[in-house]
Amino acid sequence: MNRGIYAWKGGGDQVMSGMMSDFCRRVLEKVGMPPDEAAIMAQCLTEADLRGHETHGMSRLGMYLERVKRGVMKPDPEIRVVQDGGAVTVLDGDHGFGQVVAALALEMAASKAAEIGVGVVAVRNSGHAGALGILAERVVSRRKIGIIFTNTSPIMAPWGGREPELGNNPFAIAVPREGRDPVILDMALSVTARGNIILASREGGAIPEGWAIDRGGRPVTDAREALLGTVLPIAGHKGYALALMIEILAGVLTGASFGRNVASLMPPDYSKPLGMGHLVMVLDVEKFIPWDEFQRRLSRFLNQIKESPPGDGGSEIIIPGEKSAQKRSRRLKEGCVINESTRRELIRIGEEYGVPFEV
Ligand X SMILES: NC(=O)c1ccc[n+]([C@@H]2O[C@H](COP(=O)([O-])OP(=O)(O)OC[C@H]3O[C@@H](n4cnc5c(N)ncnc54)[C@H](O)[C@@H]3O)[C@@H](O)[C@H]2O)c1
- Using alpha carbons, select from 171, 166, 142, 141 the residue that is nearest to residue 154: 166
Beta carbons within 8 Å of 13's beta carbon, 6+ residues apart:
none
Does residue number 133 form part of the binding site for ligand X (CB under 6 A)?
yes
Beta bridge partners of 146: 174, 282
Supply the DSSP string of 255-270, one letter for each residue.
T---GGGSPPTTTT--
> How far apart, in Å, do the first and last CA atoms of the chain sit?
38
Least CB distance to ligand X at residue 189 (A): 8
CB 148 within 8 A of CB 172: yes
Q: Which stretch binds ligand X (CB under 6 A): 38-46, 78-86, 157-165, 187-195?
A: 187-195
- By beta-carbon proximity to ligand X, the closer residue of 65 and 131 is 131
Does residue number 278 form part of the binding site for ligand X (CB under 6 A)?
no
* Torsion angle, alpha carbons of 122, 124, 129, 131, to 10: 30
Least CB distance to ligand X at residue 35 (A): 24
Least CB distance to ligand X at residue 28 (A): 18
**Residues 73-92 as x/- pattern, contact with ligand X by CB under 6 A:** --------------------
Binding test (CB under 6 A) with ligand X, winner from 121, 129, 140, 227: 129
Q: Which stretch binds ligand X (CB under 6 A): 63-71, 114-122, 181-189, 210-218?
A: 181-189
CA-based angle 89:178:293, to the nearest 5?
Answer: 85
Q: Which stretch binds ligand X (CB under 6 A): 102-110, 128-136, 199-207, 245-253?
A: 128-136
Does residue number 128 form part of the binding site for ligand X (CB under 6 A)?
yes
Does residue number 324 form part of the binding site for ligand X (CB under 6 A)?
yes
- By beta-carbon proximity to ligand X, the closer residue of 129 and 220 is 129
Provide φ and ψ at 228, rounded to 5°. Answer: -85, -20
Least CB distance to ligand X at residue 286 (A): 25
Does residue number 186 form part of the binding site for ligand X (CB under 6 A)?
yes
The H-or-E segment that residue 87 falls in is none
Does residue number 193 form part of the binding site for ligand X (CB under 6 A)?
yes
Provide φ and ψ at 61, rounded to 5°. Answer: -55, -45
Does residue number 266 form part of the binding site for ligand X (CB under 6 A)?
no
CB 337 within 8 A of CB 349: no
Task: Summarize as ranges the residues that interact with ligand X (CB under 6 A).
Answer: 53, 55-56, 128-133, 150, 152, 168, 170, 172, 184-188, 192-193, 318, 320-321, 323-324
